Structure 1
Amino acid sequence: MELLLIFFKMEIHGKQLEIISCIWIVIGVISFFLLMFLLLTKQYHTKLKKITNHSIEIGIKLKTEYTQKLLCFQEKDRKRIAQELHDNVIGRFHLMRMNLQENNLHLLKNNLQTSMKIVRELSHNFTPLESNPGELSYLFEDYLAQIQQQVAVNYCVLQSPKKQLLSNEVKLNIFRIFQELINNILKHSKATEVHVQFRHSETSTALVVRDNGCGFNPNNTHNGIGLKNIIFRSSIIKGKFKFKTMLGKYTMFIIFIPQLNEHGHG
């Protein structure tokens, strides 16, 4: 009887040891997975911190580059204003003073009209579009009206009834690109005709400018300020553009801004 009791106690003790061993094994397994989880979490946070810091650095770099380019454009505009005022407006004022002294009213009238045209063009070039509530198509038309004595103009507007509103930023950059193109045509292309088409709908906006001038070699334009301005302004509004040109025949520029939302961004 006593041997049976001892055997029974030993069996119970063995089961207790087995249960305790299982418990320790479970605790060990849980501790292992917990430790692995903590290590992986730490590595994840470390990588996430690196990615975040890298993203911040890229953001700061892009912001700095944008600011530098903006300051460069502002400085370029200031030089253009100073040059236009010195070469054209101030010179015309001197001529008008001489006309008054000589009592030559005919030349005085001509110089006054020319001065008004120059000042008006300067106003278009440097006045922010935020202060102009007009449609972009009207701005194109008004600007083209100023050059009709220098080159024949063909202007076409295609706008859908459900056309989408453009933000001031998009209007400004499209209009500045347009001005850059027209100025290049007048200065370099020797063109006699300019064809402008403006298409605007609820899903996209496109501007096409074509002349019948001398064309250019695309390989010689990479360092041009005008092209850099067009590239930069196109990137701001997420536009896609391309040139088509043939020496002695024509140059055509196309910019396409797809999927504009209510704020004018893609």
Structure 2
Amino acid sequence: MKKLLLILSILSSNCYAQQAAIDGLKQELSNAGSKPKGLVRDTLICYALKSIMRAYVDVDIDSSSHYNQLLIAQSEKPGLENYLIYAYQYAGYLYQVRGDYHQSIRYHYKALPLAEKMRQYTRTAASLGWLAHAYTSLTEFDKASKLCQQGLAVLRRHPDSYIESSILNVQGAIFRQQGELEQALEVNQKLYRLAQREQLTWYEAQGLHAIGWVYKEMKDMPKALDYFRKALSLARETGSADLEGSILLNISNLYSSQKRWTEALAYCQLAKETAKDVGDSSIEAEAFEALYKIFKQTGNPAKALNAYENYVLLRDSLSKEKTDHRIETLQAQYDNVQKTSELQKKQVELLANQKARKVLFIGIILILAVAGLLFWNNNGLQAKNKLINRQKAQLVTTQAELANINKTLESRVEERTLELVEANCELIRKNEEIKAALFKGQTIERKRVAIELHDNLSSLLSAVNMSIQHINPHHLSESEQSVYQNIKHLIQNAYAEVRNISHNILPAELEKEGLVRALASLVAKLNQNSPLQFSLMFAGLDQRLPAEIEFNVYSIVLELINNVIKHAKASAAGISIRRSSYGVDIAVTDNGIGLGENQVKKGIGLQNVETRLESLGGSLTATLSDGRGMRIAINIPIETESLNGNVFIA
């Protein structure tokens, strides 16, 4: 309590010192007013008004606002544009302190074009920063963030550490209020370092305050309290009551969040007294609201009610103050118009009485001049009307010609489209004929090769086999008998392989009875006297596929069956072939070990399968599961295209 009284006594002594300084500035204003009229007198008055306005800001905001309005009125004279920019910006700052953000925006938008016109880049950046401050208070963060970026872009070309600190302060608040606490902490630490380096004590205190605020949002209360206390110490050095009040309120709120009601109450009372001394109704209202919550939590309903009543009274007063100010502004504008109108009437009456003849003469001359001007203007209008009418006629003619050209162009486009459609149909038919002829040629060549293998090479192997039968093995030595048996076995294997190759090049069942019968016959042969049993399943193959597709499917399935027999070491395998609306789906599964040693490197068989699939536009997927064998899934598209009612297999 003693510390609190000591702080209040220091504040009161500071107030007396500030009042003495203000009285001296008022005397300077009076002296400046006694100077001869001219730019020098107006400049001295503006300087004195500016100094008084700034001196009052931490003593009495209402008085600061009064001298600010006087400075605006005085600096609207020619040659005083620099003071006018400053006065507009300071008005925006005062309204910001009062919590009237819309009025703050209004004045800063008055200052901004003037600063840009006079190429005062730091003032331009300052207005952008204060506008961002006001929009942040209105929670319009997108606008505020864009204005901050514009202000910092100006300062990169024209540096000013004070204005940069102001904008960084706003940018940190934007990040904090949007919950982007890491970015807020980074920006506020940058603000603090800049202010400390440039010895900007106010912003150094505000940087510490902002860092503490972020730590408070992060729930790191010890760090937050430490930064708040450092900020409070620096704020008292600057004498800034609004900053001090804001810091005191934050410390009080921090203690309230920890339910340390005694400390929270002490700092809240101190914030209230600080705001009351300078007439800062906005912070005083926040302090009463905080007091209401503290008293309510500590079981003091009477004090809580009193604090709430004061809060409501100040809140309504602030709202009424904004409304009254707007009414006063409108009233002043109206009075100004009325006075101007009355002055004009008096001047007209005076001129009418003193110089009636001269006015009449000038009036006649003006009437004649206006009549001549009207006559000349009428002739010009008639000429323009004629020109417009001619242009309208030309436009109608041009539009008609353009319409005819469009019709002709449309008919040409239709004709060309029909020609292209017909050419495309013809091209598709030719492609189908070429594909059919190519497949027919391949089929004929396969037949020829199969017949050559069967008739010539098979006959030759049969003759060799018959010839070797005439050799009596009993006349041979033991080693020669071994060679004889080996050659006989090889000839029999070669004969079987030639028969299989000639059969597989073009199976008779495939050409005559189709894919289903051919594969069924193949599987039936494979399942005879073999430990590896194959199962076969068809779906959607009630009608035969195109001959080329059937042959490729048969060849692919045959290759996959050979892979299972050679490498899988399986006891069972399944083959599934399904016809869908988009193509043919093939699946070959086994319960063995898959490709065995060829898991990584594909063999010739699978390479042949992939080559066939590339020509058909198909795809292959191989899946190996531990203990469940290999599954190979293949899709071969059989797309159809429709053109002018004709359906083509693509």
Alignment of 1:231-250 (within 5 A): 231-246=610-625, 250=629
Per-residue CA shift, 1:168-227, capped at 9, x if unaligned?
11110101101221233344x152434132344574644322231353565533xx5433
- Counterparts in 2 of 1:117 and 1:22: CA distance versus 1, 3 Å: same
Aligned to 2:468: 98
Aligned to 1:213: 593
Alignment of 1:104-253 (within 5 A): 117-127=496-506, 132-144=511-523, 145-146=525-526, 152-159=532-539, 163-187=542-566, 189=567, 191-200=569-578, 203=581, 205-211=584-590, 212-216=592-596, 219-221=600-602, 224-246=603-625, 250-253=629-632
Unaligned runs of 5+ in 1: 1-12, 39-44, 46-55, 57-62
1: CA distance, partners of 2:562 / 2:461? 21
* Residues 535 and 574 in structure 2, CA contact (< 8 A), matched pair in contact too: yes
Aligned to 2:394: 24
Higher relative contact order (CA 8 A, sep 6+): 1
* Residues 534 and 572 in structure 2, CA contact (< 8 A), matched pair in contact too: yes
Per-residue CA shift, 1:117-159, capped at 9, x if unaligned?
3333112221267972123233223334157556512223344
* Residues 617 and 636 in structure 2, CA contact (< 8 A), matched pair in contact too: yes
* Residues 156 and 197 in structure 1, CA contact (< 8 A), matched pair in contact too: yes
2: CA distance, partners of 1:207 / 1:152? 20
**Secondary structure of residue in 1 paired with 2:545:** coil
* Residues 531 and 571 in structure 2, CA contact (< 8 A), matched pair in contact too: yes
Counterpart AA for 2:392: C
1: CA distance, partners of 2:509 / 2:518? 13
Counterpart AA for 1:164: Q
- Give me the identity figure in percent: 19
* Residues 556 and 609 in structure 2, CA contact (< 8 A), matched pair in contact too: yes
Counterpart AA for 2:612: R
| Larger of the two Rg values belongs to structure | 2
When structure 1 is superposed on structure 2, of 225-234 and 175-184 the one drifting more is 225-234
1: CA distance, partners of 2:639 / 2:398? 59
2: CA distance, partners of 1:90 / 1:192? 36
When structure 1 is superposed on structure 2, of 168-177 and 191-200 the one drifting more is 191-200
Count matched residues. 221
Counterpart AA for 2:564: I
**Secondary structure of residue in 2 paired with 1:208:** strand
**Secondary structure of residue in 2 paired with 1:210:** strand
Which protein is richer in strand relative to its size? 1
* Residues 206 and 254 in structure 1, CA contact (< 8 A), matched pair in contact too: yes
* Residues 560 and 606 in structure 2, CA contact (< 8 A), matched pair in contact too: no
Task: Please tell me the root mean square deviation across aligned C-alpha atoms, in Å.
Answer: 5.6
* Residues 510 and 517 in structure 2, CA contact (< 8 A), matched pair in contact too: no
TM-score relative to the length of structure 2: 0.26
Q: CA deviation at 1:32?
A: 8.4
* Residues 210 and 253 in structure 1, CA contact (< 8 A), matched pair in contact too: yes
When structure 1 is superposed on structure 2, of 120-129 and 17-26 the one drifting more is 17-26
